[in-house]
Chains A and B, each alone.
Chain A
Amino acid sequence: MSDLTTPAAYTLEDFRGSRKRMRTEHLVRAVLFLAALLSIVISVLIVASLVGEAWTFVSQVEAASLWSDGWFPRRGIYDIKTLLTGTLIVTVIAMAVAMPLGLGAAIYLSEYAPAGVRKLLKPVLEILAGIPSVVLGFFALTFLSPVIVQRLSSEATQFNIAAAGIGVGILTIPLVASISEDAMRSVPAALREASYGLGARKITTTIRVVIPAAVSGLVAAFIVAVSRAIGETMVVFIAAGATGGSLFSTDPFKPGQTMTAAIASQAAGTDQVRGAGLTFQSLFFVALLLFAITLVLNVLAGRFVQRVRQAY
């Protein structure tokens, strides 16, 4: 314990601290900083590895082959609109499944569910989020396609875009539900009480007060889900059935190709990514396109999430 007399005058030396501890401190900080910096390095590597080969593709490909009647890279036919259309159809079907179910689940969990039910359902949705996409791909092919899609249309083939779209939709339900629920739960209770205080019913409060207040978050949920659907590979790869290539098609009941599945299917089934001319490079071009689209969507979604945070 301190003695009772005035301590001898201090000098700066007394406050420098143990060299060893300071060295550890600086070393740890440097190592942790490098770990954080690695994420930037990864981003740079992604862009760098995409851009080089993609540029080779763009500068060497014949313009006509980019707008022809299908995606057959091994034969030098690179119709990008085939992939974009396939991606669009899958995404639209996926959203038609995921938005109503995900939003409905979110509203129920946030506004209606008793605490006990909520505590039970949340983990179930989280487990649904943990199902690997290959599993949903197989489920889409062997269950959704014969049981649902082929009943909707007698024309539907076993491999079809619609089943893949529904599968992707199921995969994104938990994502929509979780982001939307977060947004609605961050609406202050005071707003709800104000509405109830005026004698409003629960449905009125939910639809007129809570949902409008959370709308930024709901938009974010939608955008993130779209981005996820566009980026989903294996469900389409397994269930949409266009492994070698695909003709241009707008029929959801027929096989089709998305950007992601096109990338994977060129690499699969052979020992190595190869093919005529620019096959290898076309893969990087499509991946760059995919990267750019999802990046824009994610940045956009981030803005909307930020808005929710600022508001409350």
Chain B
Amino acid sequence: MALTTPAAQVGAIVPEQVRRQLTGRRSDTAGRIFQAVLIGAVAASVAVLGVLVYDMVQTGSGTLTGRLGDFLTGSLRSQPGESGLLQGLRGTFYIGVFTVVFAFPIGVGAAIYLEEYASKSRLSRFIDLNIRNLAGVPSVVYGILGLAIFVKALGSFTGPSSQGRSLISAGLTLAILVLPIVIITASEALRAVPGSLREAGYGVGATRWEVTRDHVLPYAAPGILTGTVLALARAMGEAAPLILVGAVTGFLSGGTELDPTTLGDRFTAMPIIITTWAGRPGPEWEQATAAAIVVLLVVVLLANAVAILLRNHYEKKRG
């Protein structure tokens, strides 16, 4: 122990002795166990993901390899061997469209206001806090909001033929649900824009909007895009709010056309189909459910992976 070497010995240090002191290995059993436990925690978390994906692919492989085309383009049927996902895919596609069309511009706009325009006034601090709390509101509560506003109060606009239980209601509800996520991630991206870039713009006499449009937004674009894709993936995977706004959980006639004039009709979506099928007994429904999950995972995880890689790529590029 170097620290415990008596001062008196310092004058007569033997190199051999110093060498022994410095190389003397203290057996760090506790440290090694601790590290093993930590690695175990990480491994378990990663393993869960692996097992889950493997299990779904394994269970769903029969359906996916046996009748993939039919599975993707068929409608809901009473037999698991005949049922297809087309109506769900259409619903999920339009929910994604609603998210991009509504949550993206409004969310980015709000983030620009909060980061670039608002002074740190009481109001802007309140808006900021409010957005953080909105992000923590359970999704089922957003479903209640959608039910009360879009289905009940505005039903004659959102779906005259479906008493408001339409894709329009669902899309708007989920756009509201992911809005705080878009705002928060866009705000983070805007905060990461160096102040010197803004100064450069103001220095040559650009207005706030010109600086934002020409310099800040292009710089923050990858970050904003990442946040939007993550929000999109979140919206496409949500089920609870859709149940509340009246997604069809049984059988649905029609609902296969991409024609936007049918957005006011009854609808279903991928997560709803999975939920419904998961509740049906028998291995055949289980296989169909697993296959539907693989399809949803491909869409959602691909979006996630692209977003994460995009962000990491730009982070690295900018050091």
Contact = CB atoms under 8 A, between A and B. Distances in A.
Direct contact of A and B (CB under 8 A): yes
B45 A173 contact: yes
Given A46-B145, A127-B308, A133 B239 contact: yes
Interface stretch (A66-74, A195-203, A248-256): A195-203
Contacts of A60: none
A39 B134 contact: yes
A238 B137 contact: no
A39 B113 contact: no
B42 A233 contact: no
Contacts of A53: 148
B132 A108 contact: no
Given A39-B180, A124-B49, A287 B144 contact: yes
A224 B38 contact: no
A284 interface: yes
B109 A32 contact: yes
B304 A130 contact: yes
A142 B41 contact: no
B244 interface: yes
Given A36-B127, A269-B249, A201 B31 contact: yes
Interface size class of A (residues with CB under 8 A): 35 or more
Given A39-B180, A263-B140, A290-B141, A127 B301 contact: yes
A264 B134 contact: no
B293 interface: yes
Interface of A: 21-22, 24-25, 28-29, 31-33, 35-40, 42-43, 45-46, 49-50, 53, 100-105, 107-109, 112-113, 119, 121, 123-128, 130-139, 141-143, 170, 173-174, 177, 199, 201-203, 206-207, 224, 227-228, 230-234, 237-238, 243, 260, 263-264, 267-269, 271-273, 283-284, 287, 290-291, 294-295, 297-299, 301-302
Interface of B: 3, 26, 28, 30-31, 34-35, 37-42, 44-46, 48-49, 51-52, 55-56, 59, 105-107, 109-110, 112-114, 117-118, 124, 126-127, 129-134, 136-145, 147-149, 163, 165, 176, 179-180, 183, 207-210, 230, 233-234, 236-240, 243-244, 246, 249-250, 271, 274-275, 278-279, 286, 289-290, 293, 296-297, 300-301, 303-305, 308-309, 312
